[in-house]
Structure 1
Amino acid sequence: MVAALCTAFLISQFYRASIGVLGPTFMAEMGLSASMLGMLAGVYFIVFAAAQVPCGVLLDQYGPRLVNTVLLMLAAAGAVIFATARDPAILTLGRGIIGLGCATCFMGALVVFSRWFPPRSFPLMAAIASGIGGGGALIATTPLAIAAEWLGWRGTFFLISAITAVVAALVWMLVRNAPPGEPFQVGPRET
């Protein structure tokens, strides 16, 4: 359960950082200006940030298992749109969908940790998730450049889309919102 949630956050951080390595490729292939590249990078963060409050409500209502699974599948679909884009608008749309799909990766993990582990373990679990998640940013450097060299950037995003879908399936299979016998929903005052 913890591994699936941490891997989801790792993928989120990979998507977040991937534009840095591939930016020159996008500029050359699609004729992006520096400001267009900035918008492409920023749309992930804009959508991700805008989704935090609604996603928090969804996590409280439906639980991290369902919400994270659905949103990870959305991120996988966004990666396919991104990989097949032939113009900057579709590229940006795909990136925005990825941002929405990754919006609960860390938050959902924290919700699960708060329900499954004693309060004294919460900082450790959050640190473990953060540490593993940081690996996604590392993978978005030289390993991403090597993958893009071998598979092309489009092939690389098809691959990461497939990996994202597998992780979504693992989240669905392994994650439980709360320990057996404990409700996962919270009262309206806590939302």
Structure 2
Amino acid sequence: MDKQNSKYRWIVFTAVLFTYFLIVSQRTAPGLITDQLMKDFNVSASTIGLLTSIQFLAYASLQIPIGILSDRYGPNLFLIAGALLNGLGTLIYSAAPNEFVLLVSRALVGMGDATIWVNLVLILGQWFRVKEFVGLLGFAGMAGSLGFLLATYPFSAWIAWSGWRPPFFTVGILLCLCGILLYVVLVKRPNQLFKGHPEAVLQSEQERVRTFLMLKRIFSDRQAWATFFCHFGLVGTYVGFIGSWAVPYGMQMYGMSRSEVSQLMMIGLVGAIVGASLTTWIANRLESIKRPYMVVHLVVLVSWIAFLVFGGKPPFFMLAVLFFIIGYGNGASALTFAAVRQSFAMREVGVVSGFANTGGFISAILLPSIYGKVLDHFQPVSSGAGYTYGFIIPVVFAALGVMGGFLLREQRKESSKASGMSV
């Protein structure tokens, strides 16, 4: 039985996407309790920025190593280990007695999270045909957006009802169970069904490119850098802001409650869900990744500029629209990996996907930390000046994303075939 024609591949798809859904929720869920952590642990805005950044630092620093190891040894082991590590970190976070343990737990979560997306891309590449790949990336992006959605009003309501520790403890348990589920779905059951098709066959039949030479070529490749900056501009700005400062921003600038801000964040996540599915569909229809992606980058840049134009406090209706557009851009970032899959040989997809993903999370590292320092500089925070000047950061980052879009080369079907991929 062939993996890419089996019905079992949809079980793999469902298990992997459910795990991704839960893991993504833990990227931004801590942002819901920013003010509570500052109060409970008596820490500054800069420390909260560091708390967010340490998770994304662990994530970003491991992307390329994970890509190399996953290309060489296969993605299954790393996806399983990542789910377990993420669950363990979330459990420790739920019981943290001080800020040091909080930092360690978020580092563990970041390390686990680092294994997920690159290996998800590789697993979809193994189990599904190339012509199905772009559309399925859109569904994967939707699963991630639903994970972010879980970390808004539903999680906020849960926190309001039970306090912040029980929700994180429960999700930690679920993630550990997901690790066990992935072992059964990705390793144990396929070994029974596909005995004649071990995962390592493709690896052993193809000549390996030496790691150093491969990295040297990738780091000097314009297309790789284009995907890096595309992700830098769309993902980090959204995740970095939502995951750290969106809740205090809404509470202090608009006098909203935590629940009301979480509902506003849901608007952005609806945008992300729409962006993931609609933009990949448009790209398929146009047979072009660059054109729709450039439009998305430019519109997101204009949206961040709007925050500056209105002094950090646009009218509420416009604020909702801006959150939707910025969320749409985050969902549309799935096109980054469609471009990677289309532009590089399969043996390099893991490494280049990791490199591109690093771009998004370097900006997610930098934004919360810099934003926190700006807020600390413009005390008191309630004056709003810190938030106003803080929006310069996502504007600059989004502009780098536009640059990435300009650098992106359109890859036609002939180019894909030349790379050894059938379309």
Q: Which residue in the other structure is 1:174 paired with?
A: 185
Partner of 2:374: none
Return the match for 1:22 from 30, 33, 36. Answer: 33
The aligned counterpart of 1:134 is 145
Letter of the 1:81 partner, please give it.
I
1-side partners of 2:138 and 2:87: how far apart? 26
Higher relative contact order (CA 8 A, sep 6+): 1
Name the counterpart of 1:51.
Answer: 62
Pick aligned residue for 2:49 from 38, 44, 49: 38
Aligned length: 191
Unaligned runs of 5+ in 1: none
In 1: Cα distance, 2:171 partner to 2:44 partner: 26
1:107-118 to structure 2, matched below 5 A, reads 107-118=118-129
**CA displacement at 1:6 relative to structure 2:** 0.8
In the alignment, is the contact (CA less than 8 A) between 1:71 and 1:102 conserved in 2?
yes
- Contact persistence 1:44–1:95 (CA under 8 A): yes
SS of structure 2 residue aligned to 1:31: coil
Counterpart Cα distance in 2 of 1:126 and 1:73: 23
Equivalent residue letter for 2:208? P
Q: Measure how far apart 1:87 and its partner are.
A: 1.1
Alignment of 1:56-95 (within 5 A): 56-95=67-106
Q: After superposition, what is the alpha-carbon deviation per residue over 1:37-86, rounded to whole angstroms, capped at 9, x for unaligned?
A: 11111111111011111111232233222211112111111112211111
Distance 1:147 1:59 in 2: 36
Establish whether residue 106 from structure 1 lines up as the match of residue 117 from structure 2: yes
User: SS of the residue aligned with 1:91?
Assistant: helix
Per-residue CA shift, 1:9-41, capped at 9, x if unaligned? 212211111122111111111112111111111
Structure 1 residue 150, shift from structure 2 partner: 2.6
| Structure 2 letter corresponding to 1:188 | R
Other-structure match for 2:199: 184
Pick from 131, 140, 145: which aligns with 1:120? 131
Secondary structure at the residue paired with 2:114?
coil
Tell me how far 1:183 sits from its aligned partner.
Answer: 4.4
**More displaced stretch, 2-11 vs 180-189:** 180-189
The residue type equivalent to 1:138 in the other structure is L
Match of 2:134, as an amino acid?
P
2:170 corresponds in structure 1 to 159
Aligned equivalents of 1:123, 1:182: Cα separation in 2: 24
CA distance in 1, matches of 2:133, 2:186: 17
Question: What's the CA shift string for 1:123-166, capped at 9, x where partnerless?
Answer: 01111111111111111111111121233211111101011011
Q: Once the two structures are superposed, what CA deviation does each residue of 1:83-138 show, in whole Å capped at 9, x if it has no partner?
A: 11111111011001001111122211111111111111110111111111111111
CA distance in 2, matches of 1:70, 1:175: 12
Identity score, percent: 26
Q: Could you tell me how far apart the structure 1 residues matched to 2:73 and 2:184 are?
A: 16
2:87 and 2:175 in contact (8 A); partners too:
yes
In structure 2, distance between residues paired with 1:113 and 1:62: 16
**Alpha-carbon contact 1:60-1:184 (below 8 Å) kept:** no
- Where 1:51 maps in the other structure, the secondary structure is helix
Specify the SS of the correspondent of 1:32: coil
Q: 1:84 to 1:31 in 2, by over 3 A?
A: same
Q: In structure 2, how many angstroms separate the alpha carbons of the residues matched to 1:158 and 1:4?
A: 21
Aligned to 2:421: none
The RMSD of aligned alpha carbons is 1.8
Which residue of the partner structure matches residue 9 of structure 1? 20
Q: Any runs of at least 4 consecutive aligned residues in structure 1 with deviations exceeding 4 A, and if so which? A: 176-179
Match of 1:96 among 107, 117, 134: 107
Counterpart contact for 1:79–1:160, Cα < 8 Å: yes
Larger radius of gyration, structure 1 or 2?
2
Using the size of structure 1 for normalisation, the TM-score is 0.92
Distance 1:116 1:32 in 2: 47
